[in-house]
Structure 1
């Protein structure tokens, strides 16, 4: 079964994306430069992962849903510093049309649809940034909390049921990626 096509993979300045053979890359997604995509991860239709000045890592079984843009942040002119890479851990969920820029989403973290995660921000394990929210530069959502708003502020702790629902969503996207890969293979025959 084909899990991704080379037409979506673009080397940049000698750095070629490293994509695990079991990862699913949907048509229209663009993977550029120093990107690493782990086992069974899925990058959905029309996502852009552009690692031209730093590194992007997508962990095992994580999904980056349709239309999401992921980039990194360079040091600001005149400031001491380093590139802010974008690192997404294992089993993370990134909702449709999100923007992640020089940030970290830990294992089992959740980024809601249309949310924005800014430079140096962090979403801890089993933490959630609500749909449409903006996590300001340098802010951290502690483990097990949900934040919402623009700028995002703490709302409450996630319940055990909500945490279990996140795991269910990860499993759902593993199945969905397999079904899409199979369907695309059938279309190419």
Structure 2
């Protein structure tokens, strides 16, 4: 399904295949000879999505565009089932496996691999040809690649990247306090306004 959203209509190259249960919404451009699988969602929420040529986005993957950055896939990219990409930049010939997550502002260098259930944190730069092993975490610029069990090591790098400010435009709460009560109503209202006039175009 193609949805006009926020006054933008998706642009799909005539040689691309879009599965009948995929959802493509808003300012999305899909290049030649791409395949978008069943249940995949490409959702431009305040920022554009640009998909290059010869990309395969498999069933149930989610790709979200966010404000202030282009969500971009280069050419010859595979995005596996259940992968989630948000406001990141993916260069050519990158392999993103099943269940992998790549967050806001991250850059995946050419020919890199993010394997099953691996994570690339926000504002992380993964060098060309690098590999994030199954279930591991890449964090920082340049990326350090750490096992998920190394919470303290990951947090030491992740904390200064400042997820609350960078993604939610709010200050990190003091220990023991929650930002959710203040942030979620604002976020929900913003999404409601953004999608108020959505309509199917095909």
TM over 0.5: yes
Alignment partner of 1:100: what SS? strand
Q: Distance in 2 between matches of 1:145 and 1:63?
A: 20
Conservation of the 8 A alpha-carbon contact between 2:74 and 2:92: yes
Q: Which segments of 5 or more consecutive residues in structure 1 lack a partner in the other structure? A: 1-7, 75-82, 156-189
Are 1:114 and 2:107 counterparts? no
Q: Distance in 2 between matches of 1:99 and 1:18?
A: 21
- 1:151 aligns with 137
- 2:173 aligns with none
Q: CA deviation at 1:151?
A: 2.4
Q: Distance in 2 between matches of 1:94 and 1:123?
A: 12
* TM-score, length-scaled by structure 2: 0.66
Q: CA deviation at 1:150?
A: 4.4
- 1:40 aligns with 33
Q: How does 1:32-181 map to 2 (within 5 A)?
A: 32-74=25-67, 83-148=68-133, 149-152=135-138, 153-154=144-145
- 2:10 aligns with 17
Conservation of the 8 A alpha-carbon contact between 2:44 and 2:66: no
Q: Distance in 1 between matches of 2:8 and 2:114?
A: 31
Q: Distance in 2 between matches of 1:10 and 1:43?
A: 15
Runs of 4+ in 1 over 3 A off after TM superposition: none
Q: Distance in 1 between matches of 2:45 and 2:105?
A: 17
Q: Distance in 1 between matches of 2:124 and 2:26?
A: 27
Q: Distance in 2 between matches of 1:44 and 1:144?
A: 26
The superposition leaves residues 25-51 of structure 1 with CA deviations (integer Å, 9 ceiling, x where unpaired) of 011100000000000011100001011
Q: Distance in 2 between matches of 1:68 and 1:60?
A: 18
Q: Which segments of 5 or more consecutive residues in structure 2 lack a partner in the other structure? A: 139-143, 147-202
Conservation of the 8 A alpha-carbon contact between 2:40 and 2:58: yes
* TM-score, length-scaled by structure 1: 0.71
Conservation of the 8 A alpha-carbon contact between 1:110 and 1:123: no
